[in-house]
């Protein structure tokens, strides 16, 4: 199965509390998942304020500044992983430092019938 | 067509449905195919057993028919050749069958599904209830329930939820999710608070049956034993819980001879075995409380101090308002109604809108002879009471405290 991991910041993290300990830092995570052969691609993204959203309505182009949903949390990075099943994807995601400091959304890729 | 054959089909349905579906899902990976084929097999049994007689091994008969139906369905679909091979070699009585059912339970109760979806899917796939029956039990339209089940199956397929018992290192964090589903099933059937009682009582029995299966498969997990003991002990008192009109009877006034004492003994034995492992949890503590009530010869001879101790432990593990409420009641019974009222005052802000709060206050006030205040609380409770029988119970009490001396 192929999954896209959205690495998100979370507004629900209480910044006044000391940060929770992450299972490993991002360099370790990337090195480990690359070595396991499960991580196909991944990178960090510029902040949401640098996003540009494009829409075409009634043939007209609309370009707006910012992400498609306004909110305090935003997608900070993505990873594409390939692994056995959702349980393995959850195992991979829980080790990502942003699972501790934000959240990770796991999205299975669409499967095209042949 | 005799009633005997129908009875045999009904029994086989209870005992064999989950196993047949579980095995077919493992072999084909197709939930709908598995359920439809099992459904066909039971329909054939209903048509045939009356005239041909009940086969000596109903489970094997049903498995063979379901397997043949699955093969027929797969033959019609050219893209399913690989699965067809698998089904052809499937043994009719697989050694793996206990594991299959456990796989099915863990998959239906995967944490990536909502609790609602897990409960619905478990009832449909493991227990074999129809979508209509599940919808009636949870007071939702049948279309809604059908969508919920379809959605859950689609997520299992699309998100790649594995059909398996989680490996040892994940079992500890996955088991509570399964037990939570079984607990919801049981309490939905146990409390006649809303919905059709005729549909709800079998829910409790299904929950017990699936939990028994889990206990058989995981004998070293005291949490499972604790939950099973709790269910068996609660269910053993069902005959005393309502009167002839179906209205609730308080445990103080229940006819204890109507309780199922054999089941109580069994529940206590299961609980003792679980407690010996010294890994106490909320289910075991609730079972301890249920066992105190079930084994006391009378209300007056109940060990309420013991019950209070169990509630104190329980409140430490589970800080929920309902536990805090029950603990306050236990204190009031053990130490007197004034202590109970004081304890209820301390947690009242957490129980806003909960009809049992004024009902409990009313009961303590009634015992103190403060009849006017009791009447006020009964009125409050009546304004919040969820069901007809509970309303009648509260009205009877209200009439008692407002009657002339």
- Whether B159 sits inside 8 A of A86 (CB atoms) is yes
pLDDT confidence tier of residue A42, bands split at 50, 70 and 90: very high
Domain of A41, in residue numbers: 2-14+22-46+75-108
A85 domain residue, yes or no = yes
A68 domain residue, yes or no = no
A27, containing H or E segment: helix A26-36
B19 domain residue, yes or no = yes
Would you call A81 an interface residue with chain B, using a CB distance cutoff of 8 Å? Answer: no
CATH number at residue A81: 3.30.70.1060
- Which of B112, B156, B159 best probes binding to A when mutated, by most A CB atoms within 10 angstroms? B159
Return the HEC string of chain B: CCHHHHHHHHHHHHHHHHHHHHHHHHHHCCHHHHHHHHHHHHHHHHHHHHHHCCCCCHHHHHHHHHHHHHHHHHHCCHHHHHHHHHHHCCCCCCCCHHHHHHHHHHHHCCCCCCHHHHHHHHHHHHCCCCHHHHHHHCCCCHHHHHHHHHHHHHHHHHHCCCCCCCCHHHHHHHHHHHHHHHHHHHHHHHCCCCCCHHHHHHHHHHHHHHHHHHHHHCCCCHHHHHHHHHHHHHHHCHHHHECCCCCECCHHHCCHHHCCHHHHHHHHHHHHHHHCCCCCCHHHHHHHHHHHHHHCCCCCCCCHHHHHHHHHHHHHHCCCHHHHHHHHHHHHHHHCHHHHHHHHHHHHHHCCCCCHHHHHHHHHHHHCCCHHHHHHHHHHHHHHCCCHHHHHHHHHHHHHHHCCC
* Residues 6+ away with beta carbon under 8 Å from A74: A8, A9, A47, A48, A67
CATH number at residue B5: 1.10.1740
Would you call A89 an interface residue with chain B, using a CB distance cutoff of 8 Å? Answer: yes
A39, containing H or E segment: strand A39-44
- Whether B161 sits inside 8 A of A86 (CB atoms) is yes
B12 domain residue, yes or no = yes
Q: Which of B287, B292, B190 is nearest to B229 (CA)?
A: B287
The pLDDT, as a whole number, for residue B169 is 84
CA distance B384 to B378: 10
**Residue A74 Cα, gap to closest chain B Cα (Å):** 22
A99 domain residue, yes or no = yes
A58 domain residue, yes or no = no
- Whether B160 sits inside 8 A of A111 (CB atoms) is no
Q: Identify whether the C-beta of residue B190 lies closer than 8 Å to the C-beta of residue B290.
A: no
The pLDDT, as a whole number, for residue B192 is 46
**Residue B222 Cα, gap to closest chain A Cα (Å):** 25
Q: Which of B132, B216, B163, B138 is nearest to B34 (CA)?
A: B163
In chain B, how many domains are there?
1
A62 domain residue, yes or no = no
Which residues on chain B are in Cβ contact (under 8 Å) with A2? Answer: none
The pLDDT, as a whole number, for residue B146 is 95
The pLDDT, as a whole number, for residue A76 is 93
Which residues on chain A are in Cβ contact (under 8 Å) with B106? Answer: none
Q: Which of B72, B90, B89 is nearest to B80 (CA)?
A: B72
Secondary structure class of A29 (helix, strand, coil): helix
Q: Interface pTM (ipTM) of the complex?
A: 0.88
- Whether B161 sits inside 8 A of A89 (CB atoms) is no
- Whether A87 sits inside 8 A of B158 (CB atoms) is no
Which residues on chain B are in Cβ contact (under 8 Å) with A5? Answer: none
- Which residues, listed in sequence order, are joined to residue A52 by a DSSP beta bridge? A65
**Residue A108 Cα, gap to closest chain B Cα (Å):** 5
**Residue A105 Cα, gap to closest chain B Cα (Å):** 11
Measured CB to CB, residues of chain B less than 8 Å from chain A are 110, 112, 158-162, 166, 170
The pLDDT, as a whole number, for residue A18 is 79
A6 domain residue, yes or no = yes
In chain A, how many domains are there?
1
Sign of CA dihedral A32, A35, A38, A40: positive
CA distance A5 to B252: 56
Q: What are the residue ranges in chain B where pLDDT is below 50?
A: 1, 92, 192-195
**Residue A81 Cα, gap to closest chain B Cα (Å):** 13
B196 domain residue, yes or no = no
- Whether B160 sits inside 8 A of A85 (CB atoms) is yes
B21 domain residue, yes or no = yes
- Which of A3, A83, A86 best probes binding to B when mutated, by most B CB atoms within 10 angstroms? A86
B53 domain residue, yes or no = yes
The pLDDT, as a whole number, for residue B1 is 46
The pLDDT, as a whole number, for residue B191 is 60
**Residue B129 Cα, gap to closest chain A Cα (Å):** 27
Would you call A11 an interface residue with chain B, using a CB distance cutoff of 8 Å? Answer: no
Q: Cβ–Cβ contacts within 10 Å for residue B272, how many?
A: 12
Secondary structure class of A80 (helix, strand, coil): strand
Which residues on chain A are in Cβ contact (under 8 Å) with B170? Answer: 87
Which residues on chain A are in Cβ contact (under 8 Å) with B112? Answer: 86, 90
Helices (H), A37-110: 86-95, 97-101
Looking at chain A, which residue has its C-alpha nearest residue B161? Answer: A86
Looking at chain A, which residue has its C-alpha nearest residue B169? Answer: A91
- Whether B160 sits inside 8 A of A90 (CB atoms) is no
């Amino acid at each position: 199965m192929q999954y896209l991991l959205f690495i998100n910041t979370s507004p629900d993290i209480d910044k006044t509390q000391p940060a929770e300990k992450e299972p490993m830092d991002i360099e370790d995570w990337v090195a480990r998942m690359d070595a396991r052969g499960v991580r196909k691609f991944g990178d960090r993204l510029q902040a949401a304020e640098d996003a540009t959203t494009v829409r075409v309505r009634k043939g007209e182009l609309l370009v707006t500044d910012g992400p498609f949903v306004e909110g305090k949390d935003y997608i900070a990075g993505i990873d594409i992983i390939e692994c056995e099943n959702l349980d393995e994807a959850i195992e991979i995601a829980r080790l990502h430092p942003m699972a501790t400091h934000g959240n990770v959304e796991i999205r299975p890729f669409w499967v095209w019938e042949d | 067509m005799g009633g005997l054959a129908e009875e045999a089909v009904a029994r086989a349905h209870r005992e064999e449905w989950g196993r047949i579906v579980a095995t077919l899902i493992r072999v084909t990976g197709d939930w709908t195919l598995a359920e439809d084929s099992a459904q066909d097999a039971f329909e054939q049994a209903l048509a045939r057993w009356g005239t041909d007689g009940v086969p000596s091994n109903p489970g094997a008969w049903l498995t063979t028919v379901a397997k043949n139906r699955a093969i027929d369905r797969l033959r019609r679909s050219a893209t399913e050749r690989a699965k067809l091979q698998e089904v052809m070699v499937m043994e009719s009585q697989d050694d793996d069958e206990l594991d299959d059912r456990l796989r099915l339970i863990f998959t239906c109760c995967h944490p990536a599904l909502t609790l609602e979806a897990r409960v619905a899917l478990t009832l449909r796939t493991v227990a074999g209830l129809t979508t209509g029956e599940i919808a009636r039990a949870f007071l939702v339209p049948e279309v809604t329930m059908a969508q919920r089940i379809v959605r859950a199956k689609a997520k299992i397929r699309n998100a790649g939820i594995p059909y398996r018992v989680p490996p040892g290192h994940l079992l500890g964090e996955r088991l509570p999710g399964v037990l939570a589903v079984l607990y919801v099933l049981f309490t939905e059937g146990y409390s006649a608070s809303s919905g059709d009682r005729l549909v709800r009582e079998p829910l409790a029995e299904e929950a017990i049956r699936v939990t028994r299966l889990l206990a058989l498969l995981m004998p070293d997990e005291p949490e499972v034993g604790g939950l099973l003991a709790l269910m068996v002990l609660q269910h053993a008192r069902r005959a005393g819980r309502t009167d002839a009109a179906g209205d609730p009877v308080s445990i103080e006034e229940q006819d204890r001879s109507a309780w199922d004492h054999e089941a109580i003994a069994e529940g206590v034995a299961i609980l003792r075995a679980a407690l010996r492992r010294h890994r106490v949890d909320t289910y075991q503590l609730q079972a301890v409380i249920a066992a105190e009530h079930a084994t006391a010869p009378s209300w007056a001879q109940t060990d309420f101090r013991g019950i209070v101790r169990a509630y104190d432990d329980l409140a430490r593990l589970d800080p929920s308002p309902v536990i805090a409420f029950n603990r306050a009641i236990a204190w009031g019974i053990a130490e007197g109604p004034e202590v109970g009222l004081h304890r209820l005052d301390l947690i009242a802000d957490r129980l806003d809108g909960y009809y049992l709060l004024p009902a409990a206050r009313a009961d303590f006030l009634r015992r103190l002879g403060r009849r006017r205040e009791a009447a006020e609380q009964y009125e409050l409770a009546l304004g919040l009471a969820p069901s007809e029988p509970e309303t009648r119970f509260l009205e009877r009490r209200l009439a008692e405290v407002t009657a002339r001396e």
